[in-house]
Structure formats: structure tokens, C-alpha cells
Amino acid sequence: MDLHIAASIVPLLGWAVHGGILTQRLASARRDPLTGLHTRAGWTARAEHCIRRHPHAAVLLVDLDHFKTLNDTHGHAAGDAALIATADRLRAWCGHHGTAGRLGGDEFVAVVQDLTAADLDALTAALHQPLAYAGKVLPLAASVGVCHLAELPLPTLTEALAAADAAMYAAKGRSRRGFRLSR
């Protein structure tokens, strides 16, 4: 190989490798390392795209109930297992019709294209399934707040998240088991 050609190719290869590494780091920054769900930034971009394309979309906020007690009683590894199980259940429920994310701690979020096609009772049942961990069965519970975009005066993601948050806290106050729609 000609020395001049080799001298030209080496920097190009370096830039290609560097670009690949940066792309991989950006992708991993948009995924929660524990659950594999989208982080807030990654989920927000997908959610905004979904609500622009699907006027009957709905936003859900999910908060694990009694998570601190689970962590304090069974340890942080058990808490991590609960977070992973919750993420898997939420991801499965969203399927190809939505996107799930982890906001942080024990708070999760989802957007679905059309809530009438989704079964909220199935989600609630899945989120309340006990978790087998280290030879024990750990109880899991979650409160879910739901907001239909079509019911908002200004159907933006910010407004939907605020309404879903209020509905989620109402669900926590009501029974700490199940979901509540925004109204």
C-alpha cells in the first residue's frame, strides 16, 4: 500500500471509531442502565412524536407503592429486582403501541397510542403480581395516573404529565392499588 494512502486512511479510521463510540455513548445515555427503559430525555422525544401522530394517545405515570419499605426490609438488590420487574411488565404492556420510560427512583412513565385499545386492568394486575426473589415472595404494588390527551384543553406532553401526576397521587391517596384517570 502506498504510504500516502495509508497516511490518509489512518485518520479516517480514527474518526470512524470515535464517531461510533460517541453514537454508542449517546444511545446508552438515553437508556436507564438498570431497567433498559428510556430515560426521561429518550422517552420525552418518543412521547412527543407519539402524541403528535396519535390524537387519542394517553400518558401514564406509575409509582411503586411502599418501595422504601421493600428496600429497607429486603435490601437494595431486592429493590433493584422490583424496579427491573416493573420495567419489564410496563414494557410488555406497552408492546408495539407505546413507549415506556423510567423517570428515576421508583417512578415510571408510558405513552400509548390509543388507550381504548389498551387494557388498564391488565396493567394494574401485572404491576401487582408478587415478585419471587431470593427464595422469598415480595409483594409489589403500584399507583397509576392516566391522562387522555384528547381531554386536555391544550394537548401537550407537559400538560398530560401534570394531569397524570395529579391522577397518580389521587390513586395513591385513594387506595394505593390501581389506577386513576385524570379529570
Question: pLDDT tens across 19-78, in order?
Answer: 544 444 444 457 999 999 999 999 999 999 999 999 899 999 999 999 999 999 999 999
- Over range 151-157, report the average pLDDT: 93
Q: Which residues of 52-76 are buried (b: 16+ CB within 10 A; e: fewer)?
A: eebeebbbbbbbbbbbeebbeebee
Residues in the chain: 183
pTM for the predicted model, two decimal places: 0.80
The dihedral built from the CA positions of residue 34, 97, 129 and 162, taken in this order, carries a sign that is positive
Widest CA span in the chain = 76
pLDDT at 11 over 80: no
Sequence-distant (≥ 6) Cβ neighbours of residue 169 within 8 angstroms: 143, 145
Q: Which residues of 129-141 are buried (b: 16+ CB within 10 A; e: fewer)?
A: eebebeeeebebb
* HSE (side-chain half, CA atoms, 13 Å) at 68: 0
Q: Cβ–Cβ contacts within 10 Å for residue 121, how many?
A: 10
Task: Determine the Cα–Cα distance for residues 157 and 61; give it in Å rounded to an integer.
Answer: 12
